[in-house]
Every structure is written in structure tokens, then in C-alpha cells.
A and B are shown apart, each in its own frame.
Chain A
Amino acid sequence: MSAPILEVEKLSKSYGGVHAVRGVSFTLAAGEILALIGPNGAGKSTCFNMLNGQIGRDTGSVKILGRDTTGLRPREIWRLGVGRTFQITATYPSMTVRENVQVALLSHHRELGRLFGFAGARHRAEADRLLGLVGMRDLAERPCGELAYGDLKRLELAIALVNEPKLLLMDEPTAGMAPRERVALMRLTATIAREQSIGVLFTEHDMDVVFEHADRIMVLNRGSLIAGGTPAEVRNNPDVKAVYLGEGSVYGGEAAA
């Protein structure tokens, strides 16, 4: 197997006296889909934002494609080939759907400093190809500000793909979506990840999504990893049941039984 895309070692962060994340280590391989789950306040978002460069870490190292990311800002980490979607979508409401993708493409090609020439005519075909990939080709001309929430999530995925990322970071990619949309979006993500051998790390509260699509699951509780492994291993782990999944429901149990 080739070198891992993401190597996280002993990552820690505390806010005042609260240890939000302590000593988290894991790796992620190309084409692998890894879920990070845990109860509210477990440190998932803190972890994510440290990987992304949005907040600094206290100790530990993060390597992306073998490169140390200490001190890099989010925009520099993006240049390494990392795509990102947000828990609460962040798009440009004053632009059309296609323009949203075009801005990212212009940035990827380092053309945003140009002071003339009509930007709306640049990288049009490539933007449409990416929109087609997430099934939004016919929404390209729509103002982004009037999209339904599920469509915004798909748009974010298209934007995340513009720099041909090797790593995708998705913070609750299906939050706020209808059940049918959730499955569709994750299936799409999985297909793209496998085809382009992108490593995907995502957090999620919907266990149907997690257990159906993740190759591997890590469970975070109070800042520490308490379990990790295949969906089947995690499902039957008594610690995980105690702190998060609970005893009653056994997700995807029939399939495993």
C-alpha cells in the first residue's frame, strides 16, 4: 500500500483547563473513507479545524501527503490538495451556482489577481463538468442564494473537488438534509473517492450514513480516541455502546448478523 495521505500524531488542544483533544493519532490512506464519530463535545470539530489549519494545535504533528503542516493557514493547506466542506454551508450567495465553482477554479489556477477580462467566461466547461459530477448541471445558472440546503451541500462538494484534492475533509456533510438526499450524497462521495483515490475524512451524527459508507470508523470521547476499526468492530465494541451508540439499536446489524 502506498504512503498514507494523512498522518496525524499525538494531536492535542486545550482551551484553558479543558482538554478538547488529547493525543489523537491516526492515518488515512488514498481512496479510504474514514468516519470520525462521537458524542457532542467529544472534540470532533476541534480535531477537524486543526487538520484544516483554522485553529492552531498545542502539540502533535499533522502531515498531509508527507508534508508537515505546522503553521500553515487554511488557504495554504488547501494548496496542498485538500478539499473542505463545512457543517454549516459556506458559499457565495450573490453569485450563480456556476460562478461559485468558477471562483474556486480561478483561485486554483492562480488567476484571481487579474484585473481585466470577464471572469464569468473562464473555466466554464470545467465548472460545468464538476457540477455535472454532483448532478447540478441544470442548476448552473441559478442564484446560489436561492438554493435548497441539500443542493448547497452538493455544491460544496463540487467546490471541494476543483483542486483535484487528494484529501477531502467533510464536517457533517449530510447534516440538515432529508434521508434520501443523505444516502445519495454519501454514495456520490464514495464513488468519486474511489475513482480518484481520494482519502475522505468525515464527521457525522447519522449512524446509518456512517455504518453504510465508512471503510473505517474512529470514536472520539472527551478528546481521546476510545475505539477504531471496521464498522463491524466498532458496532460491537462495548465502550462505544456505553458512551455513544447505546445498547438498543444495532446499526446495520441485520447485515452483519
Chain B
Amino acid sequence: MEFIVVQFLTGLASAASLFLVASGLSIIFGVTRIVNFAHGAFYMLGAYVAYTLTERFEGFFGFWGGIVAAALVVAAVGALLEIVLLRRIYRAPELFQLLATFGVTLMVQDLVVMIWGPEDLVGPRAPGLRGAVDILGLAVPTYDLFLIVLGPLVLGGLWILFHRTRWGVLVRAATQDRDMVAALGVNQTWLFTSVFALGIFLAGLGGALQIPRNAVTHLMDLSIIVEVFVVVVIGGLGSVLGAFIAAVLVSELNAFGILIFPKISIVLVFLVMACVLIVRPWGLLGRPEGPARQPAGLSIRPWQPMSQNQRLVMLAVVVAAGFAPFVTGDYALTVLAEIAVFALFAASLHFLMTVGGLASFGHAAYFGLGAYGAAFATTMFGMPMIGSLLLGPLLGVAGAILFGWFCVRLSGVYFAMLTLAFAQIAWSVAFQWVEVTGGDNGILGVWPASWAASPAAFYWLALAVSVAGIVALRVLVFSPFGYALRATRDSALRSEAIGIDRSRVQWAAFVIAGTFAGIAGALFAFLKGSVFPDNLAIPMSVDGLVMVLLGGIETVSGAVVGAIVYKALAIWLVSQTDLSKLVLGAIIVLLVVAFPKGIVGFAEDLLARRRAKADDGGAAARTTPAKAPAKAPAATSGSGAAPIAAPKMEAAR
């Protein structure tokens, strides 16, 4: 009994920091409509800066002053980020905003290691709160009790700020109707900046307050951001009180879950989240979103199947790729095989994201499930490689059938967050279920059959499967089903009115995308000879998103080009620099801000413009858009992400 009480108090103390960070995210989303992926990075920065300050200035004022100063420093950095980056992308689709802030997260990860080093840092205890209080015979740290009181105090303070100050009234008005507030003459620009700074202040404070309890590590950003996503989704995006309730709920689930179900403690939280979303898709205290902004992938230029000439060019490209083993060495072939695998993975995500308008932030789940499926088939059931390649993806299919059923009930940001949550569930099962999956050690010994063991043979296999998959996906885009899927993306209202069952079509698309991702995953398992939980972790999902974006979100098959360029670049970067995340993050940010249509989209724009200049309807044979090597920062800066800005073009023949 006593133990339960103490465990409950520990849960409440953990809830305080979680609430601070989550309320910051919620406030920022409420006004700016940006889901700030970098929020965890600011939480981490808060902890690191607080560590440095409290180490330097000791004593009572040194510690508490250091905590507050750290939060203020981080808030200033946040305001700078808002001014430099976010102002340019407020009108962009949600996906771009999530990606840009993810890019910032990547950069911060490398910067933090650069400044503070890779080791975990242990901060000082809080002066005046070092001891413990005796509760029911068990010692509870005084600092925990302080945190338990702090949570409700901050909640009350925020309430007063939002309901009793002029600034707060403006913020609430902007939350309801940004355009109206602007029309009433309020300077929105600085309102947004101040709201963002406040949200980041709360994140930094949450991080700084953690240092007496936990070590400061450079991995704390991703772990908190996932928890914070869960909190705001359960509580309702934009609701501070909802964030408080959900933070307590999640922290208690964690505190007791570890006692009652140690095996599935991580899963438990996500299960609760999935349940809440099914009953209340907008969270406990959230409000239904208005009509969604323009979905990702909507192109003003109607798609067309390839002409005969384009097909011949593509065939030539594939045949040329088939000759690679005669001109390169083994290492290059392994890299090329990996690129082929990721081209298929990216194409499968692209199908869901561009054709279906469903931006999945957890697509790696199906890739990883396919990989684990293949590994199980090989190591547990002793299947030959072909059998494993056929059966393995079925695990991905099963995952997509199950998760997809829930996900397609939502749209926009909530869809993205739920897919992310399901991917985390899959990841935690792989991570925690050590008896079956080997946990962190993964499954080794997934080697290809002898006929495919040489790098050249495996490369040909990967190339063949990948090309077949990409062609199949392209056929799907132009099939009646592909049109139905695009229809549900373009207008849910019209689709329902002409007899299309939106959720069934999208569910089917989800399963199709999961199937091809699973096939790619199974190939990947044999390529590496092993599988690890990393294969279905968030960074893998984000890799997929970046490939799609890099290739061009409005194009039919840009993802393939994106995968080739991104993967080659990433492998090259890792070999060239220790700061690969910094560079990669910067590239992502640059892409979103300056180059939102991607390589293929940009090339198509150029072609369209040239054709418009030529200005005769019977334009001659098209050159292939896919191969044009576009140089990066050409597009105009600013918020160009809105597809509406695309130059108009006749769908002439």
C-alpha cells in the first residue's frame, strides 16, 4: 500500500516536466498551427544550458537563477528560430513544417555533442531541497514534492496569463481565428514570436528542472518528444488543461506499468493513446479541426502516364543499372543494393503520401516488420531465402491491416501522430520482447541463399524486386483504384457524394503501401544479414519522408529519385564528416524553405516553363523529367511551398 502511494507520487513528479514541455507544444500549435518537432531539442538544450550554469554559479541563487536563466536563454534561441525559419513556412502544408522542425532537431543533436561531448552529465542537487520526506515509512525526495506542487502552479499561472491579460486574450483570439485577429489590426508577427518563445521557455524550463533527477544526455530529445506527442494527442492539441491531465495520466501509466506489466510498459501508454483517439479523435479536451489545409501531394498539373519515349528511356536506365556489377567493386554494389531497397521503400511511402494525401510518420513500422518477418522465417523456421522473402512481408501486411484500420479514421496532423505512435509500439515490442526479437541485440544470421550471396547476385535481385515494385506502384497510380485514392485526397465531400467509401479506399492504400514497404524490409534484412529495432524506429520513418520530399511530393515517381540522391548523399556524408546529422538537418531545412517541390518537381516546373515559352500546343517529344540534375537553391525563397503557386500548364498532348 505504502509503496503504491510513493510510486504514485513519483509519477506525479515526472508529470510536472512532461506537462511543462507538452503545454509549450500545445500553446505553440494552438496559435501557429505548427507541430513543433524540435520541442524535444529545446527541452534537451534547457537541460544542457542549466547544467553549465549551475555548475559555474553555485549556491542557492546560483542554482535557481541558473535554472530560470537557462529557460530564458533557450527561449531566446527559440524566438530566433521562429524569426529566421518558421515565419517562412507558416502557410506551408503541415508535413513541411514537421519536417523542417525535425531538421532542426537533427542539427541540435550534433551541436549538443559538439559543445558538451557525448558523455552523460550529472547535474547538482537542488540547494534547499536535497533531503527526503518520510511518507508512510518510505522516503520521498523533497525535490519530487516540489515538482508535484510546481505543476498545478504553472497550470494556474498559464490560466491567469491567458484569461486575465490583454496578451492572453489576443492569443486565445488568434487560436480561434488567426485571420480575424490580423484583420483587427493586431501585429500577428510578434504575437506569433512571443507565443513561440513562451512555448520554448516552458520546454527549456522542463528540461532544466530535470537535472537534479536525471542525467543529461544527448538522446533525451527524441524520447521526450514521443512522450509529449502522446500527451498532447491524448489531451487534445491546443488545450493546456488537457495537456496537464494527459501528462498525469501518462506519467502514472509509466510509473505503474513498469511494476505491473514490465514487459509492455512502453506499449501501455500507446495503447491508451490509440483507445482515446478512437473514442475521441481530437483528444480528451481538444476541438475538432476545421477543414484541413491543402493536403500534401496535391498538384495543379494533372498527372499523365509515361509516353512511349519516356518508357524507353526508363528501360534504358534500368538496363544500364543492371550493368553496374561489370564496372564497380563489391562495396559499391552493396551500396547500390541498399539504394535499390530504399527506392522501393520511398516509393511505397510516396504512394500513401502523395497519391493518398496521407503523410505517415511511422512508415518504417511496415519496413521493419517485413524485415523481422523475413528474419523469423529464416532463423526460427529455417525457410530458404525465397520463402522468407515471400512470407516475411506478410508481417508488414498484417501490421498495416491492423494499424491502418485505426489510422485512416483520422487525417492531417492527427494521422501523422497516430502513425508515429503505432510505429513506436512496433519498435517497443521489438525492443522489449527480448526472448523473441533479441531486443537491442537484434537477430543475426539472416544470410541470403548461396546463389544470391555474391554482392553482384544480390544487387541484381534487389534491383529486380525494386524495379518490379516501383512499376507496380506506378501502374496502381493510374489504375481506377489510384483515381479513387486521389479522389479521396482531393475532396472527401465530393467522393462521398459519388459513392466512394473514403476510409475503405484509404485503408486499402495503407495496406498496399505497407506491403511494398514490407517487401523492401525483407530485402533489407538479407542485405544486412541481420535486423535490429532501429529498422522500425522514427529516424527510419523520417528518412523515408525526406526521400519523398527531396524527390518531389507533387510528382508521380519523384520518390525514387529522392531515395537515390538522399541515400547516396547520406552514405557519402557519413564517410566524410562526423557531423552528418548537422549537414543532413540543414539540407532538410533548406529543402523545405527554398526548394519545396523537390528535384523532380523542380525539373518539371522548368520543363513546363520552357514549354510555355515555346508556346505551341503540339510540343515535341518530352524529355524525361526524372533525370534532370537540378541544382538546389534555385526556387525563390519564402513560403513557396503552397502548390497553388505552380505555374499553370496545359495538359496538352
Contacts and interface: CB of A to CB of B under 8 A. Distances in A.
Interface of A: 52, 54, 73-76, 78-79, 84, 86, 90-96, 99, 102-104, 106-108, 111-120, 122, 141-146, 159, 162-163
A103 B476 contact: no
A94 B484 CA distance: 12
B115 interface: no
A250 B435 CA distance: 84
B539 to A, nearest CB: 31
B499 interface: yes
Contacts of B481: 112-115
Q: Which residue of B498, B501, B505 has the most chain A CB atoms within 10 A of its CB atom?
A: B498
Contacts of B298: 93-94
A88 B125 CA distance: 62
Interface string B488-513: 01110110111111000100000000
A118 B305 contact: yes
Contacts of A73: 496
A74 B496 contact: yes
A90 B493 contact: yes
A145 B554 CA distance: 14
Interface stretch (B392-400, B451-459, B644-652): B644-652
B469 to A, nearest CB: 14
Nearest to B494: A90
A74 B505 CA distance: 16
Given A120-B478, A163-B499, 16 more contacts: A75-B498, A78-B498, A84-B497, A90-B497, A92-B486, A94-B300, A94-B489, A95-B486, A103-B484, A115-B475, A115-B479, A141-B653, A143-B300, A145-B300, A146-B300, A163-B498
B493 A86 contact: yes
Q: Which residue of B484, B489, B650 has the most chain A CB atoms within 10 A of its CB atom?
A: B484
Nearest to A142: B651
B497 A113 contact: no
Given A96-B651, A119-B480, A146-B648, A91 B491 contact: yes
Contact of A112 (B304, B500, B650): B500
Chain B interface size, as a band, is: 35 or more
B498 A93 contact: no
A92 B651 CA distance: 15
Top 7 closest A-B pairs, CB basis? A90-B494, A92-B490, A112-B484, A90-B493, A114-B480, A119-B480, A104-B498
B496 A106 contact: no
Interface in B416-456: none
B480 A92 contact: no
B148 interface: no
Interface string B300-319: 11111100000000000000
Contacts of A94: 298-300, 302-303, 486, 489-490
A253 B652 CA distance: 49
Nearest to B648: A146
B275 to A, nearest CB: 25
Given A116-B475, A119-B479, A143-B300, A162 B498 contact: yes
B487 A103 contact: yes
A78 B301 contact: no
A78 B476 CA distance: 26
Contacts of A116: 475-476, 479
A119 B302 contact: no
Contacts of A122: 480
B483 A112 contact: yes
A239 to B, nearest CB: 34
Contacts of A113: 480-481, 484
Contacts of A75: 496-501
Nearest to A84: B497
Contacts, number: 122
Contacts of B648: 143, 146
Contacts of B65: none
B651 A117 contact: no
Contacts of B490: 91-95
A78 B650 CA distance: 33
A74 B499 CA distance: 7
Contacts of A52: 497
B13 to A, nearest CB: 42
B482 interface: yes
Interface in B606-653: 648-653
A144 B475 CA distance: 23
Contacts of B479: 114-119
Contact of A103 (B301, B478, B498, B649): B498
A206 to B, nearest CB: 23
Contacts of B480: 106, 111-114, 117, 119, 122
B500 A107 contact: yes
A76 B501 CA distance: 9
Given A78-B498, A107-B498, A119 B491 contact: no
Contacts of A96: 302, 651
Contacts of A159: 494, 498
B31 to A, nearest CB: 27
Contacts of B505: 112
12 contacts: A75-B499, A78-B497, A91-B494, A93-B300, A94-B490, A104-B498, A107-B500, A113-B484, A117-B479, A119-B482, A144-B302, A162-B498
A145 B493 CA distance: 16
Nearest to B295: A94
Nearest to A85: B497
A103 B483 contact: yes
Interface in B164-193: none
A82 B484 CA distance: 20
Contacts of A90: 491, 493-494, 497
B478 A118 contact: yes
B229 to A, nearest CB: 30
Nearest to A120: B478
Contact of B651 (A54, A93, A141): A141
A107 B653 contact: no
Contacts of B299: 94
B496 A92 contact: no
B644 to A, nearest CB: 8
A87 B44 CA distance: 50
Q: Which residue of B299, B301, B479, B489 has the most chain A CB atoms within 10 A of its CB atom?
A: B479
Contacts of A92: 486-487, 490-491, 494
A146 B491 CA distance: 16
Contacts of B496: 54, 73-75
B623 to A, nearest CB: 21
Contacts of A93: 298, 300, 490
Interface string B132-150: 0000000000000000000
Contacts of B300: 93-94, 143, 145-146
A160 B303 CA distance: 24
A117 B650 CA distance: 24
Contacts of A142: 650-651
Q: Which residue of A79, A93, A94, A122 has the most chain B CB atoms within 10 A of its CB atom?
A: A94
